[in-house]
Amino acid sequence: MQLSDPREDEFDDVASADSDELYEHHRIQVDKGQALLRLDKFLMDRLPNVTRNKLQGAIKAESVRVNGSATKASYKVKPLDVITVTLTTPPRDTDVVPENIPLNIVYEDAELMMINKPAGMVVHPAYNNWSGTLVNGLVYYLQNLPTSRNGEIRPGLVHRIDKDTSGLLVIAKTELAMAHLARQFFDHSIERTYYAIVWGVPEKPKGTIVGHIGRSLKDRKVMAVYPDGDFGKPAVTHYEVLESFTYCSLIKCNLETGRTHQIRAHMKYLGHPLFNDATYGGDKILKGQQTGSYKAFVQNTFDVLPRQALHAKSLGFIHPTTQQFIQFESELPTDFAEGLERWRQYGQVLQNRAGL
């Protein structure tokens, strides 16, 4: 059985790509001498690795635009037309073993599923993680549903979150849903909210971080911010401080783009790495004294929340068939909630000492 492969980056921590969208974009300018030809037939010739079903689904989902406008498969392509196509990434020839893994399904209909992924679960099988992944569980769950055709699983991932990030993922069950959702991710119209605990308190209670994100030139396992835009891909994160605990704070992040490790890299760049984020230096005391009861408190909180403090809290988008906006919310997982409560209590102690 096969499921659309997100082409995981080759990190040691296989699925370490927070919210990295899984689509590809094509831009084709029709030749001057092109004879009139149906749009679907023209694209079948120009995109030989794309199946007819996938292409038709993309056209129906308005993920194929001619001169900026959606059109029908029967449209006759004309010389110098500019055609853009947004597709989910093509699958690899990788067999995925179905596994009966419990899935926290928040919502499901004929087109899509909403999954609340726990921290510690890898999204897709890859090197050193061929089993126990979300995709292994999805293949098992979906194999007896109408979406299974001749033993091949059609649905797939349109975005992903890191192994140690918890929260919401949308899973497409049909080609139409995949194309429609991919278009929304490409247009940045998906509404995504994350909660994070970060070291320190940002100077501005609200702000926007703009800076290209690309793989670090010093360490391939880490993403770096390139503010001059000379490397990487454009990335925009909007943040808001929800609560302040003097040495840490709870922030809300809304993603305008979805680059690998976007929130983690952007907050590190801002000077406020995520609490207990080992990859970006948040797994040591960055604010406050390094000794005494405070050191013990931080270490105990690390034990309570043994991963980066990041949770995909909400996800909203236009439904592929109803065309209605739907939004889903998820509760904070136990480890995040307990770590947050410890910081609230400690922050209150600090305020009491200061006589606030």
The CATH number that applies at residue 151 is 3.30.2350.10
Q: What is the pLDDT of residue 144?
A: 61
pLDDT at 18: 41
196 and 289 inside one domain: yes
In this prediction, residue 47 carries a pLDDT of: 80
At 355 the pLDDT is 66
- The rounded distance, in Å, linking the Cα atoms of 236 and 148 is 37
Strands 223-226 and 112-117 come out as unpaired
Length of the chain: 356
**Residue 253 and residue 225 share a domain:** yes
Instruction: Among 88, 106, 125, give the residue marking a domain's end.
Output: 88
- AA letter at 250: L
- Residues with catalytic function: 162
In the prediction, which pLDDT does 348 show? Answer: 87
pLDDT for the residue 88:
63
Check whether residue 149 and residue 229 sit in a common domain.
no
Q: Are 6 and 160 in contact (CB under 8 A)?
A: yes
Claim to verify: residue 159 and residue 247 sit in the same structural domain: no
pLDDT at 60: 80
Q: What angle do CA 147, 2, 111 make, to 5 degrees?
A: 30
Please state the pTM of the whole predicted model.
0.78
- Residue 216 in contact with residue 94, Cβ under 8 Å? no
Shared domain check, 106 and 70 = no
Q: What is the pLDDT of residue 127?
A: 62
Q: What is the pLDDT of residue 331?
A: 96
- Domain span at residue 62 reads 23-88
Ranges in the chain, pLDDT < 70: 1-24, 88-95, 127-128, 144-155, 355-356
Residue 306 pLDDT:
97
Same domain, 199 and 347: yes
- Domain with 84 in it: what CATH number? 3.10.290.10
12 & 140 share domain: yes
Q: Are residues 100 and 79 in the same domain?
A: no
State how beta strands 236-244 and 206-210 pair.
Answer: antiparallel
**In the block, which residue shows the tokens 């001059």?**
228
Shared domain check, 310 and 245: yes
User: Do 251 and 346 belong to one domain?
Assistant: yes
What's the pLDDT at 7?
34
pLDDT of residue 62: 79
**Per-residue model confidence as pLDDT tens digits over 234-271:** 999 999 999 999 999 999 999 999 899 999 999 999 99
Number of domains in the chain: 3
pLDDT at 256: 92
Whether residues 97 and 155 share a domain: the answer is yes
Residues 123 and 242 placed together within one structural domain of the fold: no
Cα separation of 18 and 262, whole Å? Answer: 7
Q: What are phi and psi of 60, to 5 degrees?
A: -65, -35
